[in-house]
């Protein structure tokens, strides 16, 4: 060392600090890199990503080679700083102490904090090039790294700590996946993001939330006059209709209108013909998650189910289209009798029937009405009033003013909603 000039020694010290910075940046980048983005890049054939993924599958070996190199470089830098201090100031305790403090500061700023911030900020840019260097280093120093890891594994065994399998710690649960999707709203197209969120929420939504209530089901009474049956079937906007005999509790089955089109052309629609073309009713319990019901529809090859409560009483009707609309949004044409139950007025308010589902209101108007209790606007209003309100009475639901417009048959028939101004609310006359 005495043959080297002071300037050369300073150059070597700067080089060692730079190597230390490279090891620090590589370590942070390798640990901070997005594993899913890394796997995607590796599957596309990116060589740096493939090497990085291979190294991360052996985390103990990777950390071993990085820390081995980093510690060797830092120790060499400390030794070199001592030599420089002695050459400049002699064998002075004060000079050695100052040199130690100065080197600590340089390592902390230039070889630790700064490179690690860069590594965490740009993990792909740092990790991919670093993998080309770390992989050969690991092969060259494998015996040393293996020997060091023997002691590491022994200590972990004594502490009863078992490291997870490679890749196990990066697996996501449904809640974590939902968080990722919600946070990606600024990255994904709006429609794609909405569909993904709806898919992840299928397990939290039940058939009760989307079913057509019992009193709104268009059903056929097989005991009606044949001419009335003919008119009801021929003018229906539904392809499947529930059939009962007398009481609505006496369900016979489900009629596919297409099966009796030939009978409609005759002079009389025979009730026996209807019975021959009925499908067995398919019942599902209330509270069934939509995802489960979607799989049930797929397994049973059905498109319509009747929702019953714990006592077997009919509560409503749910179709495959109802489930699909929860995922991708509305795509079917509403029957004329259904249009207008949510309509925007000229003053910016919305006129809604009491039977409108709260989920539809939240989605259409951008509201946050509670969904853990009543499913309809009428149910929510009655729960808050604890009585049948009179027309003209107003209330705030979740900070949104709601005015009772009409009550009928012990229920709120029509209400006016004044949602806050929002870009997400459709303008003009609309209905859902």
CB-CB contact of 205 with 326 (8 Å): yes
In a domain, 60, yes or no: yes
pLDDT at 235 over 60: yes
Euclidean distance between CA atoms 244 and 220, whole angstroms = 6
In this structure, is residue 422 part of a structural domain? no
Judged by average pLDDT, the poorest of 194-198, 280-284, 317-321 is 194-198
Exposure on the CB side of residue 5, measured as CA atoms within 13 A = 3
pLDDT exceeds cutoff 60 at 423: no
Tokens of 351: 């006129």
Q: Is the pLDDT of residue 105 over 90?
A: yes
Q: Which among 419, 284, 271, 291 has a CA at the least distance from the CA of 344?
A: 419
Check whether 339 has a pLDDT greater than 80: no
State mean pLDDT over 183-209.
Answer: 79
CA distance 233 to 222: 11
Q: Which helix (H) or strand (E) holds 152?
A: helix 142-158
- If one counts every other C-beta atom within 10 angstroms of the C-beta of residue 394, the result is 12
- pLDDT for 134: 92
**pLDDT confidence band for 109 (50 / 70 / 90):** very high
Give the domain extent around 39: 6-170
Which of 328, 352, 368 is at the close of a domain? 328
CB 326 within 8 Å of CB 194 = no
Rounded to whole angstroms, the Cα distance separating 124 from 126 reads 5
Q: What is the pLDDT, as a whole number, of residue 71?
A: 92
pLDDT band with cut points at 50, 70 and 90 for residue 30:
very high
Closest CA relative to residue 425, chosen from 336, 343, 369: 343
Number of domains the chain contains: 3
The pTM for the full model equals 0.60
Same domain, residue pair 386 and 300: no
Q: What is the pLDDT of residues 360-419, one digit of tens each?
A: 888 788 888 888 888 888 888 988 888 888 888 998 887 889 999 988 888 888 999 998
Question: In this structure, are 262 and 121 located in the same domain?
Answer: no
Averaged pLDDT, 136-165? 84
Contact 223, 244 (CB under 8 A): no
Q: Which of 170, 198, 228 is the last residue of a domain?
A: 170
Structure tokens at 228: 């009335």
Share of the chain above pLDDT 70, in %: 89
| Residues 158, 33 share a domain | yes
Contact by Cβ (8 Å): 18, 107 = no
Enumerate the β-bridge partners of residue 406. Answer: 414
Q: 129 in a domain, yes or no? A: yes
pLDDT score, position 427: 41
Inform me whether the pLDDT recorded for 106 exceeds 80.
Answer: yes
**Is 29 found in the same domain as 166?**
yes
> Mean pLDDT over all residues of the chain?
83
- 153 and 35, same domain (yes or no): yes
């Amino acid at each position: 060392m005495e043959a080297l000039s002071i300037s050369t020694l300073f150059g070597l010290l700067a080089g060692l600090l730079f190597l230390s910075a490279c090891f620090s940046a590589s370590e942070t980048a390798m640990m901070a890199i997005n594993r899913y983005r890394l796997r995607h890049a590796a599957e596309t054939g990116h060589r740096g990503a493939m090497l990085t993924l291979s190294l991360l599958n052996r985390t103990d070996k990777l950390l071993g080679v990085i820390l081995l190199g980093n510690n060797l470089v830092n120790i060499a830098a400390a030794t070199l700083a001592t030599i420089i201090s002695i050459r400049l100031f002699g064998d002075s305790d004060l000079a050695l102490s100052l040199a130690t403090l100065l080197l600590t500061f340089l390592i902390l700023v230039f070889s630790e904090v700064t490179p690690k911030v860069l590594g965490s900020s740009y993990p792909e840019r740092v990790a991919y090039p670093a993998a080309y260097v770390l992989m050969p280093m690991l092969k060259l120093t494998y015996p040393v790294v293996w020997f060091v890891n023997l002691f590491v594994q022994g200590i972990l065994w004594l502490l009863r700590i078992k490291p997870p399998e490679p890749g196990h710690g990066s697996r996501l649960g449904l809640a974590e996946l939902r968080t990722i999707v919600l946070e990606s709203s600024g990255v994904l197209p709006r429609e794609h993001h909405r569909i993904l969120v709806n898919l992840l929420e299928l397990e939290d939504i039940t058939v009760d939330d989307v079913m057509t209530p019992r009193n709104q089901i268009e059903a056929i009474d097989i005991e009606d006059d044949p001419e009335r049956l003919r008119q009801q079937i021929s003018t229906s906007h539904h392809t499947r209709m529930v059939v009962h005999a007398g009481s609505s509790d006496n369900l016979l089955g489900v009629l596919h209108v297409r099966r009796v089109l030939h009978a409609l052309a005759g002079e009389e629609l025979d009730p026996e013909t209807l019975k021959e073309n009925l499908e067995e009713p398919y019942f599902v319990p209330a509270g069934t998650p939509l995802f489960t019901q979607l799989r049930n529809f797929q397994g049973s090859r059905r498109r319509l189910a009747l929702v019953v409560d714990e006592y077997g009483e009919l509560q409503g009707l749910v179709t495959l289209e109802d489930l699909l609309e929860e995922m991708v949004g509305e795509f079917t044409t509403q029957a004329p009798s259904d249009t207008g139950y949510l309509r925007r007025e000229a003053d910016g308010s919305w006129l809604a029937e009491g039977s409108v589902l709260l989920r539809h209101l939240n989605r259409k108007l951008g509201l946050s009405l509670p969904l853990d209790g009543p499913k309809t606007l009428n149910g929510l209003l009655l729960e808050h009033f604890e009585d049948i309100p009179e027309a003209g009475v107003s209330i705030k639901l979740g900070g949104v003013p709601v005015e009772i417009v009409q009550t009928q048959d012990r229920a709120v028939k029509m209400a006016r909603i004044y949602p806050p101004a929002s870009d997400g609310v459709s303008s003009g006359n609309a209905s859902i």
